[in-house]
């Protein structure tokens, strides 16, 4: 069964799946590699702080854990029923995996679960949200979900973004159509995404502040609109926002001062990319920043069993010098120099 997000995005991309190449290709200063995801198709992705990647299987609801060293295992989950996973997120301490499952989408049985990453019984945090989609957890522990509910009979959006607490969902953004990807930036503000009634993508920011015992929310700010990327999003350590959708992965444009300009540029071309997740490294996730700049991992094609994993590398000029024999030649020249005894 497709999740709400997959249904919305599938409708959006009908007839346009051939707009981009499916070949692996990395932008300047990055490297793109293939990575095996879930055998039945990769339905959702989430990184733990230690670099473990969790992948939900679209066919059977199982969750695969891929360790930083490449070891794979299936997360042992009891007490919950995973049927149609829409999104996942890991707590900042790495102990809990939050999972949304919309079951039959529209049958009144969508749930949010909390599952120990060590395995064992899961807990139901929210039940009965028909079109539940993605989930994100703030560094301070608050949990948010999106709802891709579409429109009412008058054409108004009835989806939104909600904070989950004590088994209830409090709306923090309303009037959305197919609310999709959620993530937090370094300031703790919520970045959220929707496909509109025309299936154009929009990405917005909800300012979030700590105000005593409860969070305080500012007015939503539109960061970019009219996008082909309207499926999922993730935010890197420099607060760059990456979105997926028709054509592949896009990055929201920013000016020299770091302000979002309202548009997005292609980052890596695919046909129709879906889920995305990011984990940071010791270096910034910037082109040419060197190794260990983190991982931007995404599902390159709709319900693909394979993943694309983008990492940073040194500047191409540096790599060319090393690979082209300049360094070996310099070392050999130094070795041929006669020693000078004093």
Q: In the chain, what are the domains?
A: 4-336 (2.120.10.30)
pLDDT for residue 15 is more than 80: no
- pLDDT value of position 108: 63
pLDDT for residue 31 is more than 60: yes
pTM equals 0.88
- pLDDT value of position 342: 34
Mean pLDDT is lowest, of 9-23, 177-191, 244-258, for: 9-23
- pLDDT value of position 211: 77
- pLDDT value of position 330: 44
pLDDT for residue 337 is more than 70: no
Mean pLDDT of 129-155: 95
| Model pLDDT for residues 311-323, shown as the tens digit of each residue | 999 986 665 655 5
Mean pLDDT is lowest, of 115-119, 125-129, 299-303, 326-330, for: 326-330
Residues 6 or more apart whose Cβ sits within 8 Å of residue 182: 87, 89, 134, 135, 136, 144, 145, 146, 161, 190, 191, 192, 193, 233
- pLDDT value of position 24: 55
- pLDDT value of position 323: 59
Tell me the average pLDDT of the chain: 87
In order of 51, 75, 81, the CA distances from 122 in angstroms are: 22, 11, 9
**Helix, strand, coil % over all residues of the chain, rounded to 5:** 10, 50, 45
- pLDDT value of position 42: 96
Mean pLDDT of 53-62: 95
189-219: string of b/e by CB count within 10 Å (b at 16+)?
bbbbbbbbeebebbbbbbebeeeeeebebee
Residues 6 or more apart whose Cβ sits within 8 Å of residue 98: 88, 89, 90, 91, 112, 113, 114, 115, 125, 135, 137, 143
pLDDT for residue 203 is more than 60: yes
| Model pLDDT for residues 207-250, shown as the tens digit of each residue | 999 877 789 999 999 999 999 988 999 999 999 999 999 999 99
Residue with tokens 């999972």: 99
Task: Give the C-alpha separation, 5 to 87, whole Å.
Answer: 9
- pLDDT value of position 233: 98
């Amino acid at each position: 069964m497709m999740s709400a997000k997959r249904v919305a995005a599938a409708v959006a991309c009908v007839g346009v799946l051939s707009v981009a190449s499916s070949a692996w290709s990395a932008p300047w200063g990055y490297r793109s590699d293939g990575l095996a995801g879930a055998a039945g198709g990769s339905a959702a992705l989430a990184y733990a702080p230690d670099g473990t990647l969790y992948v939900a299987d679209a066919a059977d609801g199982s969750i695969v854990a891929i360790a930083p060293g490449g070891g794979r295992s299936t997360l042992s989950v009891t007490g919950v029923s995973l049927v149609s996973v829409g999104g996942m997120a890991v707590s900042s301490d790495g102990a809990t995996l939050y999972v949304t499952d919309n079951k039959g989408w529209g049958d009144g049985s969508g749930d949010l679960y909390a599952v120990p990453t060590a395995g064992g019984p899961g807990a139901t945090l929210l039940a009965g949200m028909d079109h539940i989609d993605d989930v994100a957890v703030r560094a301070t522990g608050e949990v948010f979900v999106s709802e891709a509910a579409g429109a009412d009979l008058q054409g108004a959006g009835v989806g939104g973004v909600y904070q989950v607490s004590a088994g209830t969902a409090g709306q923090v953004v309303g009037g959305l159509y197919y609310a999709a990807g959620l993530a937090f930036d370094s300031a703790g503000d919520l970045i959220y995404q929707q496909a509109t009634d025309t299936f154009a993508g929009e990405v917005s920011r909800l300012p979030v502040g700590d105000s005593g015992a409860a969070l305080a929310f500012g007015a939503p700010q539109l960061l970019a609109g009219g996008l082909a990327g309207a499926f999922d999003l993730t935010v890197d350590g420099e607060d760059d926002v990456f979105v997926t959708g028709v054509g592949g992965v896009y990055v929201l444009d920013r000016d020299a001062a770091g302000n979002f300009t309202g548009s997005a540029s292609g980052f890596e071309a695919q046909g129709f990319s879906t889920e995305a997740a990011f984990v940071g490294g010791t270096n910034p996730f910037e082109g040419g920043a060197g190794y260990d700049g983190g991982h931007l991992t995404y599902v390159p094609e709709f319900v693909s069993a394979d993943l694309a994993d983008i990492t940073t590398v040194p500047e191409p000029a540096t790599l060319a010098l090393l690979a082209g024999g300049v360094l070996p030649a310099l070392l050999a020249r130094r070795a041929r120099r006669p020693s000078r005894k004093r």
